[in-house]
Structure 1
Amino acid sequence: MTSTDAKPEESRREQRSARLPWWGKVPLVLVTVAALLFLGSRLDLLPGFGNLFGEETHDRTGPTLLESIQDLDRYEAASGNFQVVVDLEKDTKYLPDALRGTRTLFVGAGTVSSYVDFGGIGEDSVQVNGDRTTATIRLPHAVLGKPAMDPDRSYAVSKQRGLLDRLGDLFSDNPADERAVNQLAARHIGEAAEESELTGRAEKNTTAMLQGLLHSLGFTQVTVVYA
């Protein structure tokens, strides 16, 4: 091919390149990388391809620091396990749910303990007769501790988010934040514990513990009064 023939051919290639859409000009290597990333996120759905790219998990967590130690002056006498299904929906005025709004169905599980505070017991709280065979102990009523959520038994069943919320998750450091549903689940669990017989069970167990302890010390009659 002569030099005069090469110039028209080069001109035709430039014209075809100019007519290509913007996506046609993207380098082939970028297309290949994007395809690999897409396939990497989808291959877990196919049996036998879940570890095609050799994905590994590394725990680089730093050392756990002890911030404080507190002496406990209470006897935890009972504990209750609770579970609640939270249906939390957030709407926005003047915008449809498909555009802006969230709805989360969350199963929250946690425990609540009930304890008797021994910290306020003084000399007047314990009365013993002369021959040390009868004792009367006055204690405050049992109270409930704060709900402790169990992350191993708590999970989101479904999440529905509007288009704007989904776009916001892409630029958020903590997308699909579950703190709100966790707090709501803890509040409902605390309310359920207040309606239960957990404090009554704690007082009964505390009485049995003190009676068994004092009986082993030679007391024949032990009375525990809650006031």
Structure 2
Amino acid sequence: MTTPLAPPPRRVPGWVKAVTAFVLVLALLFAGIRLAVLPGVKDLLGTRTHDRSGPALLKSLNDMSRYDAASGDFQVVVDLEKDAKYLPSALRGTRTLYVGAGTVDAYVDLGKVGDKDVTVNADRTAASLRLPHARLGEPALDADHSYAVSKQRGLLDRLGDLFSDNPDSEHAVQKLAVSHIAEAAKDSGLTARAESNTTDMLEGLLHSLGFKEVHVSYGS
């Protein structure tokens, strides 16, 4: 009596092997994520940050002769929307809600004070100074306290970000935030505060030098 031969093993299709390998990779990935949250293992599987930046280069030196007499903190909410004329916003368009925080300094340029702007009497007990009006410096955006609240983008814009070197750029809303902060500083009375503080500083300085009468004025 002869023993029947066993049927040949069935070959597994190639697509089954590919799917199995993909599932195995996902399982290992999720296992690694779960292990990463365990004490002691997170440091082993976590990422590290390496700062490979080069040294900062000094490009120029400028002598400063201005007195920064006041500073204002500002915050603005920017709602910037860009859309296409003949396409719906769901297809083409962006809308960003951005909170911008920044500071603006007000200063008096003491370097523009000439000999004719300073008058001292013979016994050096009285002095008169004429200074230029206070001016506003450039707004400085505070990156630590500025952030995007929401971003809405059309389908074409999201696809374009995939091929862009700088996706989700916030340059436009940041520039607009700086512009609004500069406008707000003009109406804040910051320059008047700077002139008052400069007057107090000069009066205290000259009084400590023996002057009894000090008069400070502003104008060209």
Q: When the two structures are superposed, what TM-score results if normalisation uses the length of structure 1?
A: 0.83
64, 72, 75: which one aligns with 1:83: 75
| Per-residue CA distance 1:58-92 (angstroms, 9 max, x = gap) | 22222122222211011000000000111111111
**Structure 2 match to 1:64:** 56
Cα RMSD (Å) of the superposition?
2.8
Aligned positions of 1:44-123 closer than 5 A: 51=42, 53-123=45-115
In the alignment, the residues of structure 1 paired with residue 83 and residue 157 of structure 2 have an alpha-carbon distance, to the nearest angstrom, of 11
In the alignment, the residues of structure 2 paired with residue 104 and residue 32 of structure 1 have an alpha-carbon distance, to the nearest angstrom, of 40
Aligned positions of 1:125-164 closer than 5 A: 125-164=117-156
Q: Residue 196 of structure 1 aligns to a residue in which SS?
A: coil
In the alignment, the residues of structure 2 paired with residue 134 and residue 64 of structure 1 have an alpha-carbon distance, to the nearest angstrom, of 48
Where does the alignment leave 5 or more consecutive residues of structure 2 unmatched?
A: none
Query: What's the offset of the Cα at 1:25?
Result: 6.7
Letter aligned with residue 137 of structure 1: L
In the alignment, the residues of structure 2 paired with residue 224 and residue 83 of structure 1 have an alpha-carbon distance, to the nearest angstrom, of 33
Q: Residue 208 of structure 1 aligns to a residue in which SS?
A: helix
213, 216, 219: which one aligns with 1:221: 213
Where does the alignment leave 5 or more consecutive residues of structure 1 unmatched?
A: none
Query: What's the offset of the Cα at 1:54?
Result: 1.7
Q: When the two structures are superposed, what TM-score results if normalisation uses the length of structure 2?
A: 0.85
The number of residue pairs the alignment matches comes to 213
| Per-residue CA distance 1:182-208 (angstroms, 9 max, x = gap) | 100000000000001100000000000
Letter aligned with residue 151 of structure 1: A
Q: Residue 164 of structure 2 aligns to a residue in which SS?
A: coil
